[in-house]
Amino acid sequence: MTIDEMLSGALTVGIAGHVHPDGDCIGSSLALKNYIGAVRPDIKVTVWLEEFSNSFDFLKGAGSADHDMDIEQVCDLFFVVDCGDIERLGAAAKYFRTAKKTVCIDHHMTNGGFADVNIIQPKASSTCEMLYYLMDADKLDYATAECLYIGIAFDTGVFRHTNCSLRTMNAVGSLIEKGLDTEELLDRTFFRKTFAQNRVLGLVLERAKLTDDGQLIFGVLTQEDREACGVSIKDLDGIVDQLRVTEGVEAAVFIYETMQPGEYKVSMRGNQKLNVAAVAVSFGGGGHIKAAGCTIKGEPEDIIEKLRERFFDQLM
């Protein structure tokens, strides 16, 4: 079923993605909003997303995203994008629950399908790639193309990861043809860091620990560190990816304290040998084989030991 077909009969549409939205989540939510605005201007579309980095603010529709999620609305149709389970919808779950019809478009292999209609393609690089093929390319405008391009770029590590296929690049090629300023788009959203972000990366790298003959690397950041560096959680993108490229490392783990003291978000990246999704799932999280996450309460040192135990079988 195409997006155009899904929209049939709907007059109010809601869109939401996962908590702590990343490039693919923001890109897919805004792309869908912009596309619907272009093909069905009679539909009222609301995007519910938690606050995200202001490097995405220039994308069309970013300013209208509702971060508070306190308005009451029952949607004819509700799209969940890039979100593997209902808990990950956070406060936006209430719009999912009350909507007349729900559609989930996602590429997380841990997604069991929790909506009325589930389009789940674990082989797709990103939700934005999926959306590209669900949209009518002829009706896809510049603003939508920018959002899709950014989402694909983020989830492929700028077209480097093994999830980047011919199908991915065909979509990217067509998006570029819409006239995108690709270099500026990537610098603005992916590569450019504030001075504070570079400092926090430096802090994590300086304190990082190698374990298990250098096969695992752990980085930790507490709330206190974050405050000392003047950064918030949405400024931490890219840290785990830098840990991952340490020579000899099979999996990189970045553990950072959430807004709840004593609660840590675990962000993991694997190289060739390990399945980090399996470890994440064993702690109630999820993700992809090479990129996954979960949340664990406790002291960082204990969390590291617990994670090492779960990696143990895979490291043999």
Residue 106 contacts Mn ion per CB under 5 A: no
Helix axes 23-39, 142-155, angle to 10 degrees: 160
- The one of ligand 5GP, Mn ion, none whose footprint includes residue 294, by CB under 5 to 8 A per kind, is ligand 5GP
- The one of Mn ion, ligand 5GP, none whose footprint includes residue 130, by CB under 5 to 8 A per kind, is none
Q: With CB under 5 A, what is the number of residues at the site for Mn ion?
A: 5
Q: Which residue lies nearer to Mn ion by CB, 200 or 287?
A: 287
Residue 129 contacts Mn ion per CB under 5 A: no
Tell me the sheet residues that pair with 30: none
Q: Tell me how many degrees the CA angle 298-299-304 measures, rounded to the nearest 5.
A: 100
Q: Smallest distance from the beta carbon of 148 to ligand 5GP, in angstroms?
A: 17
CA distances from 306 to 301, 302, 312 (A): 9, 6, 10
Q: Smallest distance from the beta carbon of 245 to ligand 5GP, in angstroms?
A: 15
Element (H, E) at 35: helix 23-39
- Could you list the residues that contact ligand 5GP (CB under 6 A)? 18, 22, 84-85, 88, 108, 110, 240, 267, 285-288, 291-295
Q: Smallest distance from the beta carbon of 126 to Mn ion, in angstroms?
A: 5
Q: Which residue lies nearer to ligand 5GP by CB, 43 or 205?
A: 205
Q: Smallest distance from the beta carbon of 160 to ligand 5GP, in angstroms?
A: 15
Q: How many residues comprise the chain?
A: 316
Stretch of 16-24, 44-52, 163-171, 287-295 contacting Mn ion, by CB under 5 A: 16-24
Instruction: Give the single-character DSSP code of 86.
Output: G
Q: Smallest distance from the beta carbon of 225 to ligand 5GP, in angstroms?
A: 18
CA distances from 194 to 38, 199, 298 (A): 34, 9, 30
- The one of ligand 5GP, Mn ion, none whose footprint includes residue 257, by CB under 5 to 8 A per kind, is none
Contacts of 286 (CB under 8 A, 6+ apart): 84, 85, 88, 108, 110, 111, 277, 280, 292, 293, 294
Q: Smallest distance from the beta carbon of 43 to ligand 5GP, in angstroms?
A: 27
Scanning residues 160 to 179, which ones bind Mn ion (CB under 5 A)?
none
| Structural tokens at position 272 | 């060739």
Contacts of 187 (CB under 8 A, 6+ apart): none
The residues binding Mn ion (CB under 5 A) are 24, 82, 126-127, 155
